[in-house]
Structure 1
Amino acid sequence: MPKTPLPLPARLNPVGATFIASLLLSLIAWLGSTINRDGMLYVRVGQAFIDGGFAAAREAFHWPFLGIFMGLLAKISGLSIEHAGYLINALFMAGASALMVACVQRRQPALVWLTALSVLALPGLNEYRNELLREFGAWYFGMLSLWLALRWDEKPTWLPVLVIQVCLGLAMLFRPEMACLYGALILWQLFAAPRGERLRRSAMLGALPLLGVALLTAAYLGGQIPADSRLAFDLGRINSASFDAKAELLASGLIDYARDDTRAILFFGSLALIPLKLINKFGIFLLPLGFLFLARARDQGLGRHALFTWAIAMQVLVLAIFVLDLQFLSGRYVGPILLFSVPFVAAGLHAMLARLPRWRLPILAVPLLIALANVVSLSPSKAYLVDAGHWLTANIQEPTTVYIDSGRTAYHAGWLNLQTPTRNDRPAIAAAVADPRYRLFVLEISRHDPAPDEWLDSLGLHVVQRFEHAKGDAVIVAERRAKP
């Protein structure tokens, strides 16, 4: 079988091609999209940093580093903070994708183009390209540390170890849980290094992180870490008392025969969120993963990419702690597992092409179509929020005269520092109508909310403008009816 199953020019650099293709996909995803809620927060953080420095950014959000980077780039480049954020995320995503291809190229060159195809097409990795998220920075610096570790493995010296640890520290500025990759590196060397080198290499990679963990644990147990800090919050997740309290609450809703098993139900039910979310986010790429094992081709992937196996294991451990604490799991939280699974997806595709040569074109065409489907949205855009924000900008000089419960509309109006109340809080809206300070009422209405027209009429309001989404969501601008 040829080294690569893809008929591509020999001079084409797979790492560079992946980087450029990733940037193009991010551009396609960005065109016509509107900023996500998290992205609005990071823009506010970036503006707070420009206006008041780190303390102001920290007050706006407890983990402000993405917003700070956005603010710095905006100040240097002249871009808006929002556009600076999209540029940063596109570069991070392209870098993470290219680094994954570079990692596989070092260990298994025959899979390099299939790796590029997989990393650009996996739904759970690529469907967030139109959003501003901290994950992209964490993925990039995490991948950079693993790529450096693979190079270090060929010639283990001290200086590269320090660079690896700095890169992981940078990854933690975006998502603190990326610290688990320190454990992956240590375990990788304990089991994969030459026998006489295992302890020495593990100590080189792990001495400084383990010392840091010991100092932080001692500080936490000694009450030296503020209770409202992010670190104390994350360490507090490893606490059985919170889990027991939730189990007792769950027991009150179960029949008598099930109450003795409440903890087991909550424990295993929470953990089940992880495989369910992974199945959803892998999508059709579960087929090559299954083929990798069923075709007994595991040595093509698992043996050569042990570092990624340990990285996946540590990420699963982090997610287990998270879901046991919150019984919730966002799709993007499984992103690192999907990213570190790319070599095994590529190995599965390679095995499928070898076993099913007549299906070569469909096997290769499907990931290409999925890569485009991830970034091309056929659903109606949320331009109504932008239109409502621009209308406010054009018609309202003083935001303090407006009661607005739509944070997204306020963002698009340029009112970044305006604190918006809870959406569709009808008692609060009724109280605001009685307050003479407010002249206009800007309300975000979901299609799932009760019809607002009769209720608005009962408050003495009439609709001035209505900005609607094709699915029924709307932003309504209302004012008091003139008295006869």
Structure 2
Amino acid sequence: MSSTNWQQWDIRLLTVLASLALSGFAVAFASIPNDDAYTYIRTAEIFLEHGVGAAISHYTWAGYPILIALVSLLGLSLFTSAYVLNAIFFAILAYAFISILRHLDDSNRIAWLAALTVLAYPELNEYRDMVLRDVGFWAMLLLALWRFMVFVDTRQFSHSVFFVLAMIGAMLFRAEAVIYLVAIPFALFLQSDRNTQQNRLDFLKLAGFICSVGALGFLMLLAAGINLFSLIFELLRIYQPFLISRFNPDEAITAAQATAIFGEYAGIFSRDYVSAIVAVGLSVVLVMTLFYTIGGPFFWLLAFGLVRKHIRWHRAKVAPILAVSLTNLFILVVFLYTTKFLTGRYALVFGLMAATLVPFLISSIIERNRGGKWEKFVSYFLILFFFYCLIDSYVSFGKSKDWLLDAAGYVELQAESDTQVLTNNHTIAYFSRQVENYDDIIREIAAQNILDAAPGTIVALEMYFEMSLLVEQESVKSSLQLLQQFPNAGKPKMSIYRRVD
């Protein structure tokens, strides 16, 4: 194919092909499934066997597992179906990401830099070999954001329809998509190229359309036997214990926190400050989570660009991106201060919005140094920068966990058809084929769980610190016969026992 023909290709389509190839590469060299995967796969099995109602009873927001199950009807295994879905959603995400940036600047340089950015974003692409509902959520959210930005500029109703449909797609994966659907339209009020009355009218039209579609969708689901409000309340009930603890803290827990923070003596006099210290600590957690989610390479490049004023955007143009960023930040703050924990996945929407700055920053750096003494240095630096990001995205330097599969195979050989297996590891539960509800394991196995197990039960324990202490308790130690340890007996990470009288 000639270079002229290549230039006629849409950069987004080339990126989609590259994304699919990279997903295949990541999955081909994947070790073992992530823990969340087993919940989705088990729910998909339940859907295939017992239908939608049973799937929702097992896992409240079951849209993603049901999609996996439907794809498996093509003759694929459930895990293969999940990987295929995620590859497709990563491709959609890449397409939407480039489309957002092309909407802001329709130059080939920005498009190519956007493609490099999304394919070489380490904190995003490390999820390519995982089974996660978040990937579908990110993809549909970015698709919705792109169409909303087009709607803001054109005010054509068809684009707002696409926006709402894409957000409904995002809701299949995560319930908080509802918050984004409500928040994003407010960006219309920041559009200075239209008068306030026009912005208000377009907002009301869009809000009315969203409410109409929401009411229709609710009635359709209700007719199918699915009460959307009940599902949302069921999700919120998960956070009830956290809220009770937040507004009615247990004195024993407060005392323990004071002792841990201030020491045994000072803790007696400092309990009134525990809440303030925890709040400050959670703020640090939030900042560090955002830093790690954006990633070191992108963060320091963006910091340099902001200091040197390489990034200049029209406020009205980026208002939708700002709306998504602030909405994600709001969700992160509420979640963190409610549950007191946070993972990078929840903050990745913020990271993706920050990543939209990277192509413009790099383009500005290239322009400012064109023909100057730093031009060659800048070229070499950018090549090394993206090369490092690609390596960080797709090459794992962690130790292989294939020993878990060996351990699961050993458990399967040791267990008879009627032998019970007690384990604190999802991989052992699934691949040993001895645990029906392999997604519902007890991570913190107690001594009583082992003592209550029937003689002959295989006990496979992942030997983190608490489990190492547990098996040394006299009552537990005398009731277990050590069979094998993995990857080796010198530093075991998995110990397999048989319950004895």
Q: Which residue of 1 aligns with 2:146?
A: 147
Contact 1:227–1:233, Cα closer than 8 Å, also in 2: no
Cα displacement string for residues 278-308 of structure 1 (whole angstroms, at most 9, x for unaligned residues): 1122212112322332222332475643321
Q: Which residue of 2 aligns with 1:57?
A: 55
3-state DSSP of counterpart to 1:109: coil
Contact 1:405–1:421, Cα closer than 8 Å, also in 2: yes
Match of 1:297 among 310, 324, 337: 310
Q: 1:473 to 1:169 in 2, by over 3 A?
A: farther
Q: What are the residue-to-residue correspondences of 1:62-461 with 2, within 5 Å?
A: 62-75=60-73, 77-110=74-107, 111-192=110-191, 194-195=194-195, 196-209=197-210, 229-233=233-237, 243-246=246-249, 250=254, 253=258, 263-282=275-294, 283-300=296-313, 304-356=317-369, 357=375, 358-414=377-433, 415-418=435-438, 420-432=441-453, 435-436=454-455, 438-446=456-464, 449-450=467-468, 452=471, 458-459=477-478, 461=480
1:362 positional shift: 1.6
1:480 positional shift: 5.9
1:430 positional shift: 2.9
Contact 1:312–1:337, Cα closer than 8 Å, also in 2: yes
Q: Flag structure 2 segments of 5+ consecutive residues without an equivalent.
A: 217-227, 370-374
**Alpha-carbon distance in structure 2 between the residues aligned to 1:302 and 1:190:** 12
- Which letter does structure 1 place at the counterpart of 2:343? S
**Alpha-carbon distance in structure 1 between the residues aligned to 2:442 and 2:269:** 44
1:316 positional shift: 0.7
Tell me how large the CA RMSD over aligned residues is: 3.5
1:322 positional shift: 0.8
**Alpha-carbon distance in structure 1 between the residues aligned to 2:137 and 2:282:** 25
**Alpha-carbon distance in structure 1 between the residues aligned to 2:70 and 2:272:** 55
Higher alpha-carbon deviation: 132-141 or 266-275? 266-275
Contact 2:297–2:389, Cα closer than 8 Å, also in 1: no
Higher alpha-carbon deviation: 88-97 or 342-351? 342-351
- Which letter does structure 1 place at the counterpart of 2:203? S
1:230 positional shift: 3.3
**Alpha-carbon distance in structure 1 between the residues aligned to 2:241 and 2:322:** 25
3-state DSSP of counterpart to 2:33: coil
Higher alpha-carbon deviation: 20-29 or 411-420? 411-420
Q: 1:439 to 1:361 in 2, by over 3 A?
A: same
- Which letter does structure 2 place at the counterpart of 1:468? P
**Alpha-carbon distance in structure 1 between the residues aligned to 2:395 and 2:315:** 33
1:471 positional shift: 9.9
1:455 positional shift: 6.1
- Which letter does structure 2 place at the counterpart of 1:289? L
Q: Which residue of 2 aligns with 1:462?
A: 481
**Alpha-carbon distance in structure 2 between the residues aligned to 1:205 and 1:301:** 24
**Alpha-carbon distance in structure 1 between the residues aligned to 2:333 and 2:281:** 11
When normalised by structure 2's length, the TM-score is 0.81
**Alpha-carbon distance in structure 1 between the residues aligned to 2:461 and 2:344:** 29
**Alpha-carbon distance in structure 1 between the residues aligned to 2:464 and 2:11:** 45
- Which letter does structure 1 place at the counterpart of 2:339? L
1:257 positional shift: 7.5
**Alpha-carbon distance in structure 2 between the residues aligned to 1:24 and 1:321:** 37
- Which letter does structure 2 place at the counterpart of 1:28? F
**Alpha-carbon distance in structure 2 between the residues aligned to 1:278 and 1:477:** 39
1:259 positional shift: 5.4
Higher alpha-carbon deviation: 34-43 or 452-461? 452-461
Contact 1:63–1:230, Cα closer than 8 Å, also in 2: no
- Which letter does structure 2 place at the counterpart of 1:450? S
Higher alpha-carbon deviation: 468-477 or 42-51? 468-477
Q: How many residues align?
A: 463
- Which letter does structure 1 place at the counterpart of 2:329? V
**Alpha-carbon distance in structure 1 between the residues aligned to 2:42 and 2:76:** 15
Q: 1:34 to 1:143 in 2, by over 3 A?
A: same
Q: Which residue of 2 aligns with 1:3?
A: none
- Which letter does structure 2 place at the counterpart of 1:139? W
- Which letter does structure 2 place at the counterpart of 1:426? A
3-state DSSP of counterpart to 1:63: coil
Contact 1:121–1:370, Cα closer than 8 Å, also in 2: yes
Cα displacement string for residues 163-213 of structure 1 (whole angstroms, at most 9, x for unaligned residues): 321221221221111223224432211111511521122122223446899
**Alpha-carbon distance in structure 1 between the residues aligned to 2:201 and 2:9:** 39
**Alpha-carbon distance in structure 1 between the residues aligned to 2:214 and 2:270:** 40
Higher alpha-carbon deviation: 324-333 or 267-276? 267-276
Q: 1:469 to 1:133 in 2, by over 3 A?
A: farther
1:117 positional shift: 1.5
- Which letter does structure 2 place at the counterpart of 1:429? I
Higher alpha-carbon deviation: 51-60 or 472-481? 472-481
**Alpha-carbon distance in structure 2 between the residues aligned to 1:211 and 1:237:** 34
3-state DSSP of counterpart to 1:466: strand
Contact 1:180–1:315, Cα closer than 8 Å, also in 2: no
When normalised by structure 1's length, the TM-score is 0.84
Higher alpha-carbon deviation: 294-303 or 333-342? 294-303
1:242 positional shift: 5.0
Q: Which residue of 2 aligns with 1:5?
A: none
